[in-house]
Amino acid sequence: MSTPLLGVGEEEGQSNVSLLTSSSSLDSSRQNGSVFKERNYMGLSECSSVDSSTISNISDGSNGSCLNLKATELRLGLPGSQSPERDSELCLVSSTKLDEKPLFPLHPLKDGNCSNLQRTITSGNKRGFSDAMDGFSEGKFSEVNVMLSPRPSLNSSMKSVSAKETTGTQAAKLKEVVPQSTVQERPRTVNESVSNRVGATSNNTGAPAPKAQVVGWPPVKSFRKNSLASTSKVAEEVDGKSGPGALFVKVSMDGAPYLRKVDLRTYSTYQDLSSALEKMFSCFTIGQCGSHGVEGKEVLSESKLKDLLHGSEYVLTYEDKDGDWMLVGDVPWEMFIDTCKRLRIMKSSDAIGLAPRAVEKNRSRN
Amino acid sequence: MCVFQSTINYFPEEVLEHVFDFLSSHRDRNAVSLVCKSWCRVERFSREKVFVGNCYAVSPERLLSTFPRVRSLTLKGKPHFADFNLVPPDWGGYLHPWIDAMVKARANLEELRLKRMVLSDDTLDLLAHSFPSFKSLVLVSCEGFTTDGLAAIAANCRSLRELDLQENEVEDRRGQWLSCFPDSCTSLVSLNFACLKGEVNLAALERLVARCPNLRSLRLNHAVPLDALQRILAQAPHLVDLGTGSFVHDPDSETYHKLKNAIQNCTSIRSLSGFLEVASRCLPSIYPLCSSLTSLNLSYAPGIYSNELVNLIRHCKKLERLWILDTIGDKGLGVVASTCKELQELRVFPFDPHGVGYTAVTEEGLVAVSAGCPKLNSILYFCQQMTNAALITVAKNCPNFIRFRLCTLNPTVPDAVTQLPLDEGFGAIVQSCKGLKRLSVSGLLTDQVFLYIGMYAEQLEMLSIAFAGESDKGMLYVLNGCKKLKKLEIRDSPFGDVALLADMGKYETMRSLWMSSCEVTLEACKKLAMKMPRLNVEIINENEQMEASTDDKQKVEKMYLYRTLVGPRKDAPAFVWTL
Q: In chain A, what residues touch B351 (CB-CB under 8 Å)? A: 228, 245
Q: Is the pLDDT of residue A28 over 70?
A: no
Q: Is the pLDDT of residue A363 over 90?
A: no
Q: Is the pLDDT of residue A11 over 50?
A: no
Mean pLDDT is highest, among A93-102, B355-364, B422-431, B538-547, for: B422-431
- Candidate from A217, A220, A246 with C-beta closest to B357: A246
Going by pLDDT thresholds of 50, 70 and 90, the confidence category of residue B57 is very high
| Cα distance between residue B124 and residue B145, in whole Å | 8
* End-to-end Cα distance, chain A: 56
| Cα distance between residue B383 and residue A251, in whole Å | 30
- Candidate from B357, B446, B466 with C-beta closest to A25: B446
Return the closest-CA partner of residue B312 out of B334, B330, B332: B332
Residue-level pLDDT at A212: 46
A222 is a domain residue: no
More confident site: B403 or B354: B403
| b/e map B305-335, b = 16+ CB within 10 Å | bbbbbbbbbebbebbbbbbbbbbbbbebbbb
Residue numbers of B between 15 and 54 with CB closer than 8 Å to A: none
Q: Is the pLDDT of residue B560 over 90?
A: yes
Q: ipTM, 2 decimals?
A: 0.88
Going by pLDDT thresholds of 50, 70 and 90, the confidence category of residue A360 is very low
Q: Is the pLDDT of residue A300 over 60?
A: no
Q: What CATH number was assigned to the domain covering residues B1-47?
A: 1.20.1280.50
| Cα distance between residue B401 and residue B435, in whole Å | 7
Residue-level pLDDT at A10: 39
Chain A closest-CA separation from residue B178 CA (Å):
22
A161 is a domain residue: no
pTM exceeds 0.80 for this model:
no
* CA torsion, ordered A142, A144, A148, A151, to nearest 10 deg: -50
Chain A closest-CA separation from residue B14 CA (Å):
46
Reported as a single tens digit per residue, the pLDDT across B194-235 is 999 989 999 999 999 999 999 999 999 999 999 999 999 999
Q: In chain B, what residues touch A334 (CB-CB under 8 Å)? A: 280-281
Residue-level pLDDT at B330: 92
| Interchain CB distance below 8 Å, A224 and B409 | no
Q: In chain A, what residues touch B307 (CB-CB under 8 Å)? A: 265, 268
Q: Is the pLDDT of residue A304 over 50?
A: no
Return the closest-CA partner of residue A142 out of A212, A242, A215: A212
Residue-level pLDDT at B538: 94
| Cα distance between residue A224 and residue A226, in whole Å | 5
More confident site: A234 or B520: B520
Give the domain range for residue A278: 248-285+302-348
**CATH code for the domain in which residue A330 is found:** 3.10.20.90
- Candidate from A43, A131, A243 with C-beta closest to B357: A243
SS3 B266: coil
| Contact of A228 with B267, CB cutoff 8 Å | no
**What is the distance of C-alpha B462 from the center of its chain?**
13
User: B518 — contact with chain A (CB < 8 Å)?
Assistant: yes
Residue-level pLDDT at A284: 67
Residue-level pLDDT at B550: 66
Residue-level pLDDT at B545: 57
**What is the distance of C-alpha A94 from the center of its chain?**
12
Q: What percent of chain B has pLDDT over 90?
A: 77
User: B328 — contact with chain A (CB < 8 Å)?
Assistant: no
| Interchain CB distance below 8 Å, B384 and A218 | no
Residue-level pLDDT at B293: 96
One-letter identity of residue B526: K
Residue-level pLDDT at A283: 72
SS3 A300: coil
Reported as a single tens digit per residue, the pLDDT across B246-279 is 888 888 888 899 999 999 999 999 999 999 888 8
Return the closest-CA partner of residue B105 out of B53, B72, B63: B63
A150 is a domain residue: no
Q: In chain B, what residues touch A268 (CB-CB under 8 Å)? A: 307
- Candidate from B281, B351, B354 with C-beta closest to A192: B354
| Interchain CB distance below 8 Å, B357 and A101 | no
A58 is a domain residue: no
Going by pLDDT thresholds of 50, 70 and 90, the confidence category of residue B489 is very high
Q: What percent of chain A has pLDDT over 90?
A: 1
| Interchain CB distance below 8 Å, B359 and A1 | no
Gyration radius (Cα) of chain B, Å:
25
Name the domain count of chain A.
1
Q: List all residues 6 or more positions away from B555 whose beta carbon is below 8 Å from its beta carbon.
A: A37, A39, B518, B519, B520, B521, B522
User: B168 — contact with chain A (CB < 8 Å)?
Assistant: yes
| Interchain CB distance below 8 Å, B353 and A248 | no
Chain B closest-CA separation from residue A217 CA (Å):
7
| Contact of B333 with B363, CB cutoff 8 Å | no
| Cα distance between residue B366 and residue B393, in whole Å | 10
- Transcribe B287-320 into DSSP letters: HHHHTT-SEEE-TT-TT--HHHHHHHHTT-TT-S
Chain A closest-CA separation from residue B308 CA (Å):
10
Chain A closest-CA separation from residue B269 CA (Å):
25
| Contact of B530 with B563, CB cutoff 8 Å | no
Element (H, E) at A123: strand A122-123
One-letter identity of residue B205: L
Q: In chain B, what residues touch A263 (CB-CB under 8 Å)? A: 357-358
Q: Is the pLDDT of residue B22 over 50?
A: yes
A265 is a domain residue: yes
Gyration radius (Cα) of chain A, Å:
25
Q: Is the pLDDT of residue B431 over 60?
A: yes
DSSP state of B94: B
Residue-level pLDDT at B151: 95
- Candidate from A234, A245, A334 with C-beta closest to B355: A245
| Interchain CB distance below 8 Å, B358 and A245 | yes
A14 is a domain residue: no
Chain B closest-CA separation from residue A209 CA (Å):
15
Q: List all residues 6 or more positions away from A164 whose beta carbon is below 8 Å from its beta carbon.
A: A114, A115, A117, A118, A137, A141, A171
DSSP state of B430: H
- Show me where the domains of chain B are located: 1-47, 48-215
Mean pLDDT of the B454-482 span: 96
Going by pLDDT thresholds of 50, 70 and 90, the confidence category of residue A290 is very low
The upper half-sphere exposure of residue B373, i.e. CA atoms within 13 Å in the direction of its Cβ, equals 31
Going by pLDDT thresholds of 50, 70 and 90, the confidence category of residue A1 is very low
Mean pLDDT is highest, among A69-83, A171-185, A310-324, B230-244, for: B230-244
Q: In chain B, what residues touch A198 (CB-CB under 8 Å)? A: none
Identify any residues that bridge with A51 across adjacent strands, giving them in sequence order: A14
The upper half-sphere exposure of residue A340, i.e. CA atoms within 13 Å in the direction of its Cβ, equals 30
Burial class (CB in 10 A: 0-12, 13-18, 19+), A347: middle
Residue-level pLDDT at A273: 86
Going by pLDDT thresholds of 50, 70 and 90, the confidence category of residue A201 is very low
- Candidate from A130, A189, A191 with C-beta closest to B384: A189
CB atoms within 10 A of CB B291: 11
Mean pLDDT of the B526-553 span: 81
Helix axes A151-165, A137-146, angle to 10 degrees: 160
| Cα distance between residue A151 and residue A80, in whole Å | 20
State chain A's mean pLDDT as an integer: 53
Mutate to test the interface with A, among B80, B81, B85, B221 (most CBs of A within 10 A): B85
Helix axes A192-204, A151-165, angle to 10 degrees: 30
Return the closest-CA partner of residue B136 out of B110, B158, B114: B110
User: Is 3.40.50.1820 the CATH number for B48-215?
Assistant: no
Residue-level pLDDT at B27: 84
Q: List all residues 6 or more positions away from B398 whose beta carbon is below 8 Å from its beta carbon.
A: B370, B373, B374, B376, B377, B432, B433
| Interchain CB distance below 8 Å, A192 and B355 | yes
| Cα distance between residue A156 and residue A145, in whole Å | 9
Going by pLDDT thresholds of 50, 70 and 90, the confidence category of residue A171 is very low
| Cα distance between residue A38 and residue A134, in whole Å | 12
Q: By mean pLDDT, which of A160-174, B82-96, B123-137 is the weakest?
A: A160-174
| Interchain CB distance below 8 Å, A224 and B299 | yes
Chain A closest-CA separation from residue B234 CA (Å):
28
Going by pLDDT thresholds of 50, 70 and 90, the confidence category of residue A29 is very low
